Amino acid sequence: MTTIPVPDRYDDWQDEAECRGTELDMWFDDARQAECAAICARCWVVDECLADAVRLETGQTPYGFRGGKTAAQRLKERRAKTRARK
């Protein structure tokens, strides 16, 4: 089983990530989104994580469950923010 590693780029908030030590593949498996959502729902750093995910996903194809949201939800949120800035 591959687990979530400690990243090279490291921010303090990641110390509190509820997903640390969980199976990496589950975060990229659409069939396990409810399981991921339950973990994110009890995570203290969900706001920081979501902001980081949105900041790093500059393309049109975000991937994986992060920050309590699916990739599609994050893409929709980013597009709404882009529209609001115009």
For the bound state, the minimum distance from the C-beta of residue 59 to ligand SF4, rounded and expressed in Å, comes to 19
Counting contacts by CB under 6 A, is residue 66 touching ligand SF4?
A: yes
Counting contacts by CB under 6 A, is residue 43 touching ligand SF4?
A: yes
Q: Which stretch binds ligand SF4 (CB under 6 A): 38-46, 55-63, 77-85?
A: 38-46
Torsion of CA 38, 24, 27, 9, to 10 degrees: 100
For the bound state, the minimum distance from the C-beta of residue 60 to ligand SF4, rounded and expressed in Å, comes to 21
Residue pair 52/80 in contact by the 8 Å Cβ criterion: no
**3-state class (DSSP) for residue 73:** helix
What is the DSSP secondary structure assignment for residue 21, as one 8-state letter? T
Counting contacts by CB under 6 A, is residue 39 touching ligand SF4?
A: yes
Neighbour-count burial of 33, counting CB atoms closer than 10 A to its CB (0-12 exposed, 13-18 middle, 19+ buried): middle
For the bound state, the minimum distance from the C-beta of residue 77 to ligand SF4, rounded and expressed in Å, comes to 14
Give contact residues for ligand SF4 (rule: CB under 6 A): 17-19, 39-40, 43, 45-46, 49, 66-68
